[in-house]
Chain A
């Protein structure tokens, strides 16, 4: 079958989509800065998030209208099930605006990957993900240092409680590595790689299906449409992944902040 299929290939070979599909030309340039599509998407996402909440709050009432109810649900989701449940206490209130911004900013940018006319995940550009992860790293460390002092915070993060001091030489570097060094890297890579891989997968199914129908006789007429059906199914999977990645990023931010504020390990 493979031999048969390859025998019927008529034209040029199929080029699988690679990292090059993420290198978009600038839409326009400001000075020497080429403004690309993902950069515009960042701005549009911010406008959408703020516009949504602003409209939801425009006619603020004790008995909410439909839009206000939706806004309260969205805000309350991050406020209650992320900030309050994880950070808890009286401290969580301070971090609600930050966590709400993180969640909805990332969520809208991720959903752009499955939105017609955008169809590009903003955080498949590594720099964007690095930016937010680096910011998370600065914030949770700053929160911890402000509460415990520099040395106190280092001790909190690196010296596990309830372990005999004999184990310190082994455990302290490990804890430092996992709590201070690795966290921003995993935060950034998790988000970036999921968006990157999801987009490549969709492009592969779409262009591959087209190639099968155009250039492969016989089986191509069956496999091509099948690839597109799969592309649709994968799109739904991707929407789930887009939501989950936004949620996980926010959740981990909350957990890192909680860990930095904790009194005991």
Chain B
């Protein structure tokens, strides 16, 4: 083929453009091969790594955001739970306090009643004692008076009824004056 081309060139004719030169086939293949290996070795892996890293970064970001969201949701649920617990607790404490208050009031009332009963009892007992004392002292006084009266009666010689009546009258009058002076002293 080459000899044919050289022949054509030598004759000054244009050679058919469809007929190739072997050097051009060879050099196109060689240059292509060099470029191909350069791209395969240095270009494509770098781009693929970049794409993969970017995909991973985006997916990782999404995953991180999702986990954060889940965490926040869990925290919110926990806080809500705590709030509900606290409300429950407060209600319970209020209820308990009311019960305790009622119990305290009831106890105090009971105590007061007991105290009043005790005071009343005490008063009654005191009154009874004083009455007893009065009775006792009265009894002693009456005895003394009676003895005095009896002594007078006996001393005046109880001969006649008239004298006897006079003695009694006088005795009673003494008593009344004594009572009157006593009363005036009190008043």
Which residue of A has the minimal Cβ distance to B42? A54
Given known pairs A23-B14, A57-B47, the reply for A50 and B39 (CB within 8 Å) is yes
Query: Which residue of the partner chain, among A23, A34, A64, A131, contacts B32 with CB atoms under 8 Å?
Result: A131
What residues make up the interface of A, taking CB atoms closer than 8 Å to B? 18-20, 22-23, 33-34, 38-39, 42-43, 45-46, 49-50, 53-54, 57, 60, 62, 64, 71-72, 75-76, 79, 93, 96-98, 100-101, 105, 124-128, 130-132, 134-135, 192, 196
Residues of A within 8 A of B16 (CB): 19
Task: Give 8 new A-B contacts, CB below 8 A, not counting A75-B47, A97-B39, A127-B28.
Answer: A39-B24, A46-B32, A62-B53, A64-B50, A76-B51, A98-B40, A100-B43, A101-B32
Which residue of A has the minimal Cβ distance to B45? A97
Given known pairs A42-B31, A135-B32, the reply for A100 and B17 (CB within 8 Å) is no
Which of A75, A79, A131 gathers most chain B CB within 10 Å?
Answer: A131
CB distance from B117 to the nearest CB of A (A): 92
Contact A98 B36 (CB under 8 A): yes
Given known pairs A42-B27, A131-B29, the reply for A57 and B17 (CB within 8 Å) is no
Measured CA separation A86–B31 after assembly (Å): 26
Which residue of B has the minimal Cβ distance to A101? B36
Does B181 reach chain A (CB closer than 8 Å)?
Answer: no
Measured CA separation A33–B50 after assembly (Å): 43
Measured CA separation A62–B55 after assembly (Å): 9
Measured CA separation A93–B47 after assembly (Å): 12
Contact A46 B25 (CB under 8 A): no
Measured CA separation A96–B44 after assembly (Å): 8
Residues of A within 8 A of B24 (CB): 38-39, 125-128, 131
Residues of B within 8 A of A22 (CB): 17
Measured CA separation A33–B35 after assembly (Å): 22
Which of B24, B51, B54 gathers most chain A CB within 10 Å?
Answer: B24
CB distance from A82 to the nearest CB of B (A): 14
Measured CA separation A19–B15 after assembly (Å): 8
Which of B29, B32, B48 gathers most chain A CB within 10 Å?
Answer: B32
Given known pairs A53-B43, A57-B43, A127-B28, the reply for A196 and B23 (CB within 8 Å) is no
Does B175 reach chain A (CB closer than 8 Å)?
Answer: no
Which residue of A has the minimal Cβ distance to B22? A127
Measured CA separation A132–B35 after assembly (Å): 13
